[in-house]
Structure 1
């Protein structure tokens, strides 16, 4: 689980837009860029090169 205070200040590294927790709570989604940033051991991996493209 990610800390809610951390979630409130995180932004997409590509567009600087907001990110939201996905339904499984194992990643952060940027709707604008259609990218999923995985969360590993409670730490969001906010690297564009490691993000997964979604729909």
Structure 2
């Protein structure tokens, strides 16, 4: 059974992010939650790339 909060690639869906953000008191749209997820993914990719460059 596929988890409805995670997409095929294992990423959190915008709907799940919206649910999590609303639990923290933020009132956003699904589109805003999607933009936040996109930003966080980019930030995570930058952090991982920087870490891996230091190790070489």
**TM-score range normalised by the length of the shorter chain:** under 0.3
> Given the two structures, how large is their TM-score scaled by the length of structure 2?
0.23
Higher relative contact order (CA 8 A, sep 6+): 1
> Given the two structures, how large is their TM-score scaled by the length of structure 1?
0.23
* Greater Rg over alpha carbons, structure: 2
